[in-house]
Amino acid sequence: MGGVRHYSPPPQNAIPAAKQKYVPTSGTYPKGFLVSGTHVGVKPTNKNTPDLAFLASETPCAAAAVFTKNKFQAAPVTVSREMLKRRNNSGIRSVIVNSGCANAVTGKGGMEDAEKMGEEADKCFDQTNDGKRGSSIVMSTGVIGQRLPIRKILQGIPAAFDALGSSHDHWLTAARAICTTDTFPKLISRTFSLPSSPSIEYKIAGMTKGAGMIHPNMATLLGMIATDAAIAPALLPTLLTNAVNKSFNSISIDGDTSTNDTVAVLANGAAGGKEITSESSEDYAVFQKTLTEFSTDLAKLVVRDGEGATKFVTIRVTEAPSEVGARKIASTIARSPLVKTALYGKDANWGRILCATGYSQISEPGQAINEVPDIIPEKTSVSFIPSDGSPELKLLVNGEPETVDEVRAAEILEHEDLEILVRLGGGEQEAVYWTCDYSHEYITINGDYRT
């Protein structure tokens, strides 16, 4: 096979120069939340990088989470889902996360470990006497098929609690503690207001980690979002699901969906104001929009840090008869290895984009075809939208290929960012996906990790 390179992870805490701009130097964080990132050494080789993140609310709060749909669900996914169900999404105190080991495919022992991790976090808070077990969401990311070094983690939780704080540095350290092969911590914070309480400045902050585990398994996506707005627990799951479908579920690094993916939102109401209690209220609509935009910006950071990525590509499918059909097409283009390698090669290869569009609705032989009649070749157009605001470059118009100015195409593809616009000419719905390219480095990271 020749030419196999060995991958060395970047030196600890060394953020690549090109990624520095995505790491905030300050932030505005929600009231009543405290965070820490501390070192427990989940991996024996990890001597001082933080690998335990703790997010705590000063008061019991509302929380919801969406979990991977992978059939093989890691122990913390099962434990957290059941806890949230038992509590009807209320009375939650914290999120406890370790990196370095995913506690996935670890059998009954792994389930007990995840339970213990949550219980140890619970002990840090006043015990409620409501008879319901558990008040902490548990997340793990890292190697699969290995047991957690649970004693180390349990011993580390009191120290993690002692280290809690609300400064920007606390948030950034926590964001770093959940990273695996991420090259930079992913943290965003912002303020918003709600129509019913125009004088209150609400805050929302969140962190995520993404695409990249070298040794030995898979990319896990974790996300934690906290806000000091007051939201009825019953409304939070739908708000989060809607937000995630348009953000974390609209990104693709390589189409692989891990056993551990979890995104959680916590709302403690510490900023005051009126609680959002109805789906038909103006506040609800504004918060939904806020949460969706916030989640989208967090999710985009995951794509920015895709393994080996050199490109950040927005795939927009418009003029579709249905959003579901548009999503399927966008997702198929985003996953196409031929599209992704063409992007890496800076190649204006609309044929591959069209090809992926065309096979997006093929199912396996024998499988029921759930075909949405979204694609009419003679009405389909494909363009590049340059990231510098210059005019679109039309590649295909109503099914007829354009004579492409290759010099112009090359200029557009020199930029890190690009939008691929597919117009279906058959409706008014649209969907957006974000993805990156496949580079030699992707193969190196995922194929040559052995040291």
Among positions 337-356, residues that touch its own copies (CB under 8 A) are 337-338, 341-342, 344-347, 349-352, 354-356
Alpha-carbon distance of 306 to 252, in angstroms, equals: 9
Q: Which is nearer to its own copies, 21 or 450 (CB)?
A: 450
> Annotated catalytic residue: which of 38, 183, 208, 220?
220
Residue 12: CB atoms within 10 A of its CB come to 10
Q: Rule CB under 8 A: which of 27-56 touch its own copies?
A: none
CB contact at 8 A, 413 and 347: yes
Among 183, 357, 381, 383, contact with its own copies (rule: CB under 8 A): 357
Number of residues that bind its own copies (CB under 8 A): 83
Give the shortest CB-218-to-its own copies separation in angstroms: 5
451 a known binding residue?
Answer: yes
Q: Rule CB under 8 A: which of 272-331 touch its own copies?
A: 310, 323-324, 327-328, 331
Q: Can you name the residues that pair with 204 across neighbouring β-strands? A: 190, 227
Q: Is 259 considered catalytic here?
A: no
Tokens of residue 94, six digits: 């914290």
296 a known binding residue?
Answer: no
Q: Which is nearer to its own copies, 60 or 110 (CB)?
A: 110
Q: Rule CB under 8 A: which of 375-434 touch its own copies?
A: 375, 377, 380, 396, 399-401
Give the shortest CB-48-to-its own copies separation in angstroms: 27
11 binds its own copies (CB under 8 A): no
Report the candidate in 251, 265, 389 with the shortest Cα–Cα distance to residue 331.
251
307 a known binding residue?
Answer: yes
Among 71, 85, 280, 388, contact with its own copies (rule: CB under 8 A): 71
Summary count for the chain: helices (H), strands (E) = 11, 15
Q: Which is nearer to its own copies, 158 or 345 (CB)?
A: 345
Among 144, 153, 221, 229, contact with its own copies (rule: CB under 8 A): 144
Q: For 341, list phi and psi in degrees, rounded to 5.
A: -75, -35
364 a known binding residue?
Answer: no
Q: Which is nearer to its own copies, 10 or 216 (CB)?
A: 216
Q: For 182, list phi and psi in degrees, rounded to 5.
A: -50, 140
- What string marks each residue from 91 to 110 as x (binds its own copies by CB under 8 A) or -? -------------xxxx---
Tokens of residue 212, six digits: 């990249």
Report the candidate in 361, 335, 357 with the shortest Cα–Cα distance to residue 425.
357
Q: Which is nearer to its own copies, 22 or 449 (CB)?
A: 449
447 binds its own copies (CB under 8 A): yes
CB contact at 8 A, 307 and 211: yes
CB contact at 8 A, 66 and 240: yes
141 binds its own copies (CB under 8 A): no
8 binds its own copies (CB under 8 A): no
Give the shortest CB-84-to-its own copies separation in angstroms: 20
123 a known binding residue?
Answer: no
Q: Rule CB under 8 A: which of 192-231 touch its own copies?
A: 216-219
Extract the runs of DSSP E, i.e. beta strands, from 213-307. 222-227, 251-252, 262-267
Extract the runs of DSSP E, i.e. beta strands, from 77-180. 92-101, 136-143
Report the candidate in 128, 149, 104, 304 with the shortest Cα–Cα distance to residue 212.
304
Q: Which is nearer to its own copies, 56 or 309 (CB)?
A: 309
Q: Please report the DSSP string for 44-76 in residue order.
A: TT-SSS--EEEEEEEEEEEEEEEE---SS--HH
Alpha-carbon distance of 42 to 64, in angstroms, equals: 27
Q: Residue 359, Cα to own-chain centre: how many angstroms?
A: 27
3 binds its own copies (CB under 8 A): yes
Binding positions are 180, 209, 220, 307, 446, 451
Active site (catalytic) residues:
220
